[in-house]
Amino acid sequence: DGTKFHEILARYQEMNQLVAYIRVKLRGENLKTFETILTDLYLEKVKLDKGLYVSFMALLYYISELFGTITEKYYRPHNNYGALLKMLSFSGNKAVFVNFNYDLLLEKSLGKSEITTVDELISGELPVIKIHGGYNWYWRRIVNAWGDEKKNSYQLSLNFAEGLFQSNQDKSKWELVLPKSKTPWRMPAYGRDFMSAYSYHPSLALPITGKNNYVCPEQHILYLKQLLGSIDRIIIIGWKLGDPFLKDLIVEELNKRNVSIAFVGHSKAQNIVNELDEKLKTNIKLIDDKGFSNFLSSDEGERFIYDEKV
Q: Which CATH number fits domain 80-133+212-306: 3.40.50.1220, 3.40.50.300, 2.60.120.260, 3.40.50.1370?
A: 3.40.50.1220
- Residue 223 backbone dihedrals phi, psi, to 5 degrees: -65, -40
Domain positions in the chain are: 2-74, 80-133+212-306, 138-202
Average pLDDT per 10 consecutive residues for the chain, totaling 310 residues: 78 96 90 91 96 97 95 95 94 90 97 96 96 95 76 89 81 88 74 74 91 88 95 93 87 94 92 89 95 97 87
